[in-house]
Amino acid sequence: MKQIILGTAGHIDHGKTSLIKALTGIDTDRLKEEKLRGITIELGFAWLDLPGGQRVGIVDVPGHEKFVKNMVSGASGIDLVALIIAADEGVMPQTKEHLDICSLLNVKHGLVVLTKIDMVDEEWLEMVTDDVQGFLKGTFLEGAPILPVSSLSGQGLPEFVEALETLCKAVPERKSSGLFRLPVDRVFTIKGFGTVVTGSLVSGKVRVGETTMVYPSGIQSKVRGIQVHGQTVDQVTASMRTAINFQGVDRSAIARGDVVGGVNTLKPSYMVDALLVSLPSNEKPLKNRTKVRFHTGTSEILARAILLDREELSPGETVVVQFRLEVPVAVVKDDRFVIRSYSPIRTIGGGQILNPVPRKHKRFRKPLVAELESLAESSAREIITYHLRESGILGVRSSELRLMTNLSEKDLEQHLQHLLSQRGIILVDRENRTFIHGSVFDALRQKTVKLLEDYHKDHPLKAGMSRQGLKSKLAASLDSKLFGLLIQDLTKSNAVIQEKEVIRLSGHR
């Protein structure tokens, strides 16, 4: 059965946690401070079994403005949202901010719940409903069901469950064929079992007994046990709320914001290229090199926003940007992110990752900016060829191309084989599966011939260039396997002749 995670969103004290408790019987406020203050501070978790048999995982997020970073962590793994608005107060500041965050994280499905209807009369409820409909215009929740509910009396709960079940059918299933990735939102220790992490599995799958890696630290550990909603299972797949018990890992070695994945399948980077949307509600433009709080998955990292084609980004504009991070982040193409200002803290924008492992870019390179912009909508083959062209003679490994394309291993291999058959790309290293672009290889061929022509002209009595001398003239960083493949190709086409360690043009005598 399809796996679904529902997230709450909304202003403080609008009844998010009370609604979840009324629906599931689970109180998601687990901290002593939460009980004392009557507010949600940390993420809370529950589940709901729908009449048709669908089990929905639930992430309850805090509504207080001081804890919005925790809200972003919770919202990053959800499939649909329940926007909670108290009928006695209506739309409030965090109602809008939470809706903006969900939009920036590309949440596309949801419903609206008007809580505390037992505290207002019908005329007031009708007025608030009209206000909410106006507020939702132009957002992904325009036209979504607006459900009046009382968590105290239970009025409206059956209608909520019915609407949720209908909505779940429209939510697309996440890819279990993708890379296994679990952004960590909680870490704790159970006596006799050791370290346990929890999170929402965003892609892929993992089984008991498999060896995993924690990013960015690189710590490896075997999966000792897995639970989903309190039940022990052997395997979990995408869109499951899960708890994983690790073997032999100290609790201090893992923290919220880390990502658990397969061994060496992800590549933490201090830079990411991204498409950034500036919220229209921003009061001032974002200037180049502004320090921001970069949120992706469950992590919050300080970063500099490098605007590649301008000095400042006006409210409502969309541009390509390179974030330079203080801590490396492990992401893949099309992952979503949110940025918040350093101080005072407020949400200012977000968008999608275009390249998770880029090189450092120079600014105001129009062709580069145009190509980066196209990555948002390009086909898989166009993305592959772009990265191989950009990498030059260094090439790209297939493991990195998976991050750059967000393709399954099978789909990526199909595209690579097609491009190889067309000689659009060249396989340089079979062991590491490293490729370069065909045009890069052709340019090396031409440069090799030109170097030999010039050498023969300057040294007509010499048999040819030494192999090592030719390699160093081509490029100081030229890989030995690529050079060997190049000489083999030129020899096969009878362009050059190699005699021991000397290489000459075939026409040179």
pLDDT digits (tens, 9 = 90+) for 123-154: 999 999 999 999 999 999 999 999 999 999 99
Mean pLDDT of the chain: 92
Cα→Cα distances 469→3, 466, 495, 496, Å: 59, 5, 18, 15
Architecture of domain 378-509: Orthogonal Bundle (1.10)
Cα→Cα distances 289→302, 303, 312, 390, Å: 12, 9, 9, 24
The residues near 237 (Cβ < 8 Å, ≥ 6 apart) are 3, 176, 201, 204, 205
The residues near 145 (Cβ < 8 Å, ≥ 6 apart) are 111, 112, 163, 167
Give, in degrees to the nearest 5, the angle at Cα 305 between 304 and 310: 140
Per-residue pLDDT band for 27 (boundaries 50, 70, 90) equals confident
- In the three-class reduction of DSSP (H, G, I as helix; E, B as strand; rest coil), residue 225 is classed as strand
pTM of the model: 0.92
Mean pLDDT for 51-60 is 91
Mean pLDDT for 25-38 is 56
Q: Where are the alpha helices (DSSP H) in 56-108?
A: 68-75, 93-104
Q: Which of 132-141's residues contact partners 24+ apart within 8 Å by CB, and which partners?
A: 132/85, 132/90, 132/91, 135/91, 135/95, 135/96, 136/112, 139/99, 139/103, 140/102, 140/103, 140/107, 140/108, 140/109, 140/110, 141/81, 141/83, 141/99, 141/110, 141/111, 141/112
Task: Assess whether pLDDT exceeds 60 at residue 40.
Answer: no
Give, in degrees to the nearest 5, the angle at Cα 452 between 448 and 454: 120
Shortest CA distance to 386 belongs to which of 364, 354, 360? Answer: 354
Per-residue pLDDT band for 15 (boundaries 50, 70, 90) equals confident
Residue 264 phi, psi (nearest 5): 60, 25
Angle of helix 366-374 versus helix 380-391 axis, rounded to 10: 150
| Domains 181-262 and 269-368 are alike in CATH topology | yes
What residue ranges do the domains of the chain occupy? 4-170, 181-262, 269-368, 378-509
Which pair of structure tokens corresponds to residue 128?
């608030």
Beta bridge mates, 306? 322
Mean pLDDT for 89-112 is 95
Look at the domain 181-262 and name its fold: Elongation Factor Tu (Ef-tu); domain 3 (2.40.30)
Look at the domain 269-368 and name its fold: Elongation Factor Tu (Ef-tu); domain 3 (2.40.30)
Give residue 276's pLDDT. 98
Task: Assess whether pLDDT exceeds 90 at residue 394.
Answer: yes
pLDDT digits (tens, 9 = 90+) for 261-298: 999 999 999 999 999 999 999 999 999 999 999 999 99
pLDDT digits (tens, 9 = 90+) for 298-353: 999 999 999 999 999 999 999 999 999 999 999 999 999 999 999 999 999 999 99
- Higher pLDDT: 30 or 150? It is 150
Mean pLDDT for 372-387 is 95
Give residue 37's pLDDT. 43
Task: Assess whether pLDDT exceeds 60 at residue 36.
Answer: no
Task: Assess whether pLDDT exceeds 70 at residue 421.
Answer: yes
Mean pLDDT for 429-445 is 96
Q: Where are the alpha helices (DSSP H) in 377-437?
A: 380-391, 398-405, 409-421
Look at 42-46, 91-95, 97-101 and tell me which has the smallest mean pLDDT.
42-46
CB 467 within 8 A of CB 480: no
pLDDT digits (tens, 9 = 90+) for 478-496: 999 999 999 999 999 999 9
Per-residue pLDDT band for 71 (boundaries 50, 70, 90) equals confident
Task: Assess whether pLDDT exceeds 90 at residue 64.
Answer: no
pLDDT digits (tens, 9 = 90+) for 225-253: 999 988 999 999 999 999 999 998 999 99
Cα torsion for 8, 9, 14, 17, to the nearest 10°?
30
Task: Assess whether pLDDT exceeds 90 at residue 192.
Answer: no
Angle of helix 467-474 versus helix 480-492 axis, rounded to 10: 110
Give residue 98's pLDDT. 92
Look at the domain 4-170 and name its fold: Rossmann fold (3.40.50)
